Chains A and B, each alone.
Chain A
Amino acid sequence: MNPSSADPASKLPSRAISIDRLIVMANQIAAFFAPYPDARRAEGVRNHLRTYWDPRMRQDLIDYVATGGEGLSPYVCDGVRLLTNGEDRKGYYGPPKS
């Protein structure tokens, strides 16, 4: 591996991909989990973002929600708020857990 001490990525543009694209993708995920009850819906969104999204994309979304999250479905925001340090990061397939 490349043993450079200062991470060159820190000098890159702030967002890994366009926020418009992330909003579309996140809202699509929320639309899928919409029929589930509140807690399971949020968990479904969280698990999906946790196990399928590159951490930079996830962080961009977390930051965007923190600034108000304009254009995002409220279901996305509920799921994003569950993305914390203590979360289950193992991932699973199937219906969202309650």
Chain B
Amino acid sequence: MESIPVANPIKPDKSVITTCAYCGVGCGFKAETHQGRIVRMMPWKEGKANHGHSCIKGRFAFDYYVSDDRITTPLIRKSIDDPWTPVTWEKAISHAATELRRVQAKYGNKSVGAISSSRCTNEEIFLTQKFARAVLGNNNIDNCARICHSPTQFGLSATVGWGAASQHFDSIMQADVIMVVGANPTEGHPVFGSLLKRRVRQGAKLIVIDPRKTETVESPHIKAEVHLNLRPGTNVAVLDSIANVIVREKLFNEAFVKERCEWDEFQRWAEFVSSDRYSPEVIGADAGIDPELIRKAARIYASGPNSAIYYGLGVTEHSQGSTGVMCLGNLSLACGMLGREGVGINPLRGQGNVQGGSCLGSWPHVFSGYRFVTDDDVRKTFEDDWGVTLDAEPGLRLPNMFDAAIAGHFRGMYIMGEDPVQSDPNQNHIIEAMRQMECVVIQDLFLNETSKYAHVFLPGSSSLEKDGSFTSAERRVNRVRKVVEPLAGYQDWEVLVMLMNAMGNPAKYAHAGEILDEVARLSPAYKGISFDLLDRIGSAQWPCDENAPEGTEVLHREKFPRANGRGTFMLTEYVPTAERTNDQFPLLLTTGRILTQYNVGTQTRRTANNRWHAEDVLEISEHDAKTRGISDGDRVRIASRFGSTELKAKYSTRVGSGIVYTTFHHAETRINVVTSDLSDWATNCPEYKVTAVEVVRVEKTKAAARSRKAKRSETVTA
């Protein structure tokens, strides 16, 4: 639904500095209010990521918070087939607590778990993992980074030691070569995208590795020096081939490797990638690109002198997502492109607080700071602080929870601010799992696809209604400030504290800053971070401690955060995905996002931004469309081995023949019915970027009838 734009200009009577939640850039904004209602979001000049710039999401898409769809009364129901019953907060909390304990008594301690969201603050994410570990008594805690950047944590930890960007955003202004892999910052991270374009206009060379000819590849005054438009699923092969050229032509930085890295592992890696099977001629043919372009990319990257890598979900969301991240780690180490301004390896994070979600222990295997739950010493520090004995074994990951539900071992979950039924792959499988649950507690702004399978709904608060902090993609901890009072009466962390108390945990915090103090006490990289510091200096990049009291812009200057201080190399064999095209499913579907909308669209679809992107469309090359009798704008059915859905086709020159592309912003598109359930070998991050499909034109009369039927079945009474 669309809200009516607020008449402007209205003279604001109050202004609060806070941080945008829409992507990992973390832009600072002055949220201006008039009589308690937000009338304007003004980009903040002192914001260290945006310096006064903004995009059309952060600037304009804020009205969702007063949408008529907001749920402000707690709801409960016995069965998912019953209608919701509005109840008091006390009743809802006590019902959720009793039900979760009942499920644990019936199916065992480990039959329940919790999910946190990167839309929530650091304080809320930390508290959610504390809830799982200290209250539910297990490590069944995961967060939405599982389905986007979990391979970043794994792949970067393995090579350079920390699963985070090595640089601050402004570092790009010192880069001579910018390599963008599987990311489209001009749409996904617009304010950083503009900075990147500015640097390219100043003369930096741009390499783009992406199946699509995105706006980052070519736009006014911008043209990539090299665009490797590889076939989806061949990232690792192509990156290994780039390494092959770098090793064979001796373009690596031997002095850097000898001084800063594990030389033996380097030698093993160099021998591995220089094999003929990774030569540009062999890989080029497989990936559908000119071998000479692979050579050119390798030579440009290695020659720098300052080369910086920026990458996105086009690297991670593959069955070899973690391997792809390791390839990037290997390349930057081999060429000595770490430890100073203008270089580095930088994941572009999709949501405002994905980095925070990753840092703060919302994982089944690690506490905050990526320290294993299986490590007795680490676990003891948490046990001492929290006064409980903690589970010494890793818990279930989000996709494992769904699998375990189907097998009969998992029966309840608490979900803060996530909508896995819409956002997670192979939707039919997830729905089957959700139907097995006996107690799903969901805390959100709106009823969503997942709440259809929930038993308790706790009204959430938007980032405009709460205090806390976000950690952006550049490791910058930014302050989130309460601009307006929470519509439902409580900030999300307050609701969770009530639930913890009802389940017997004495947690008590006077304000969100006290949770951040607990984070700092228990997480070495956040040791020096506090509300006081953030209020005083605006923001700080972790690590922030006695050695770096105002934070650290560039990582790895002298050593890598590994036991011996050295970077290392991983052997990254290319293993083609099991998802293959054939006669029945001859096209490859890859998915992504668009500038005006945000993820599953819960927020942006409820603002005037919806006018720019009112529906998801299927980008298809004219050649592929015409051979199927599809005209521009026709309604088409897209089918994979997993399911099918319908949407409108759009001729596009951005995708080559054999590839189709769409976004996942609209629930009615149900594109994740189509996506496969294959996942990354190391982290189970889903392979959203490669699904074999076929596309057929839908007869107009049939399409209209189906659309009417779908609309009828979506009408629900709340």
Chain A positions within 8 Å of B, measured between CB atoms, are: 1-2, 4, 7-10, 12-13, 15-18, 21, 24-25, 28-29, 31-32, 34-36, 48, 50-57, 89-95
Contact = CB atoms under 8 A, between A and B. Distances in A.
A34 B573 contact: yes
30 contacts: A1-B388, A7-B109, A8-B105, A9-B108, A12-B107, A12-B108, A12-B408, A13-B408, A16-B404, A16-B407, A18-B406, A28-B319, A28-B575, A31-B681, A32-B322, A32-B323, A32-B573, A34-B573, A48-B682, A51-B372, A54-B364, A56-B404, A57-B400, A89-B374, A90-B372, A90-B376, A91-B375, A93-B161, A95-B158, A95-B265
A29 B573 CA distance: 12
Could you say which of A12, A15, A25, A50 has the most chain B C-beta atoms within 10 Å of its C-beta? A12
A90 B375 contact: yes
Contacts of B108: 7-10, 12
A8 B107 contact: yes
B374 A51 contact: yes
B272 A31 contact: no
A43 B658 CA distance: 40
Given A36-B571, A90-B372, A17 B407 contact: yes
Given A9-B108, A95-B570, 5 more contacts: A7-B109, A21-B403, A31-B681, A32-B575, A94-B158
What interface size band does chain B fall in? 35 or more
B389 to A, nearest CB: 8
A13 B407 contact: yes
Contacts of B393: 54-55
B321 to A, nearest CB: 11
Nearest to B393: A55
A85 to B, nearest CB: 13
Contacts of B400: 17, 54, 57
B388 to A, nearest CB: 8
A9 B394 contact: no
B365 interface: yes
A13 B679 CA distance: 25
B238 interface: no
> Which of B109, B159, B681 has most chain A Cβ within 10 Å?
B681
A36 to B, nearest CB: 6
A59 to B, nearest CB: 11
Interface in B385-409: 388, 392-396, 400, 403-404, 406-409
A31 B404 CA distance: 24
A54 B105 contact: no
Given A9-B409, A93-B562, A17 B404 contact: yes
B365 A25 contact: no
Interface of B: 101, 104-111, 137, 154, 157-159, 161, 262, 265, 272, 319, 322-323, 364-365, 370, 372, 374-376, 388, 392-396, 400, 403-404, 406-409, 562-563, 568-571, 573, 575, 578, 679, 681-684
B594 to A, nearest CB: 32
Nearest to B402: A17
A95 B408 CA distance: 36
A82 to B, nearest CB: 15
Given A7-B108, A17-B403, A95-B569, A50 B374 contact: yes
Contacts of B684: 25
Contacts of A91: 365, 372, 374-375
A48 B392 CA distance: 16
A96 B575 CA distance: 19
Give 4 closest A-B pairs by Cβ, nearest first: A9-B108, A28-B681, A17-B403, A91-B372
A1 B370 CA distance: 26
Given A17-B400, A17-B409, A54-B393, A2 B105 contact: yes
